Structure 1
Amino acid sequence: MSTHLTRVQAPEGLAPGTGYSHVVWGSGRFVAVSGQCAFDEERRVVGVGDPGAQARRVFENIRRCLESAGATFEDVVKLTYFVTDIAHLGPVRTARDEVFDPERLPASSAVQVSALILPELLVEIEAYAIVPEDRV
């Protein structure tokens, strides 16, 4: 379990976040992962028409990016979700819960957008992480 991060689900005067922490902070090396879409290694779209399948691929792509920086999902402090339909958030959250400890969720924002880079894409997610000093 990561101890370099502090997560506050409900600061005084705020209702607890549902599926996110209101505030996360820590010490270490900052890592920014660009918005990831459901592309495979050949830049083919995975899960056309299926937001859950796309979200699972997006989290796999984020995992690979984090690993390249010496980070894990445990180090993620912030996620931003971009979805073409807010109804996709349910399947996206299900995919998120497959890779994050539900008791240690990052801060999050969700935005419905009119389109992503290709019309087949339904979900894009960016991530910020802090890698602890002992792994820097």
Structure 2
Amino acid sequence: MTITRTNPVGLHGTPGYHHVTVVSAGRTAYLAGQCPLDSTGALVGPGDVGAQVDQVVANTMAVLASIGAGPEDVVRTVIYVVSDDRSVLGGVWSRLRESPLAAAFASASTLLGVAQLGFTDQLVELDVTAALP
């Protein structure tokens, strides 16, 4: 299996992600949205977007490892942040790009500010698709 990431000529530059991710063949894993919940189901870091990003990263790393994949196998991410403040959105992007999951965000990625997520006080959620090695 080969994963190719490209930015077509004529499109705007990106802050780390690629416009297109192509997988040659193989199996694909669609992860449930990863939330900032600990192993007991408790929300981590109410009001603390950084703590919630860190928990989402830890949960995503655990899920990927459970299927024999790593951040480099991720082909698509969608990041949901409860905020309409561009500096908050940018801060989440930066924290993700500096995390152990950073390689996942070199693929096709979308960052969205939203009004609300599923759990009370939840600020971040991450949707991931991976091509299995």
Q: TM-score, normalised by structure 1?
A: 0.85
Instruction: Write the mapping of 1:30-109 to structure 2, written as runs, cut at 5 A.
Output: 30-87=28-85, 88-97=88-97, 98-99=99-100, 100-101=102-103, 105-109=106-110
Q: What secondary structure sits across from 1:35 in the alignment?
A: coil
Aligned to 1:16, the other structure's residue is in SS state: coil
In structure 1, list runs of 5 or more residues that go unmatched.
none
- Separation in 1, partners of 2:96, 2:11: 23
Over aligned residues, Cα RMSD in angstroms?
A: 1.8
The whole-number CA distance in structure 2 between the counterparts of 1:91 and 1:53 is 12
Identity %: 35
Q: Distance in 2 between matches of 1:95 and 1:131?
A: 25
Pairing 1:12–2:43 present: no
**Corresponding residue for 1:25?**
22
The equivalent of 1:114 in structure 2 is 115
Name the amino acid aligned to 1:111.
Answer: L
Deviations 1:10-69 (A, max 9, x none): 202111222311001113210111111100000111111111110111011111111111
Matched letter for residue 65 of structure 1: V
CA distance in 2: counterparts of 1:93 and 1:109, whole angstroms: 10
Q: 1:93 to 1:80 in 2, by over 3 A?
A: same
Question: Partner amino acid for 2:90?
Answer: G
Query: Which runs of at least 4 in structure 1 moved beyond 3 Å after TM superposition?
Result: none
Instruction: Report the 3-state secondary structure (helix = DSSP H, G, I; strand = E; otherwise coil) of the residue aligned with 2:128.
Output: strand
Greater mean alpha carbon deviation, residues 51-60 or residues 80-89:
80-89
Deviation per CA, 1:71-121, whole angstroms, max 9, x where unpaired?
11010011101111043323322332222249x701111222211112310
Check conservation: 2:89, 2:113, Cα contact below 8 A: no
Are the equivalent residues in 2 in contact too, given 1:59–1:95 (CA < 8 A)?
Answer: no
Mapped to 1, the partners of 2:69 and 2:103 lie a distance apart of 15
Does residue 130 (structure 1) correspond to residue 93 (structure 2)? The answer is: no
- The number of residues matched between the two structures is 128
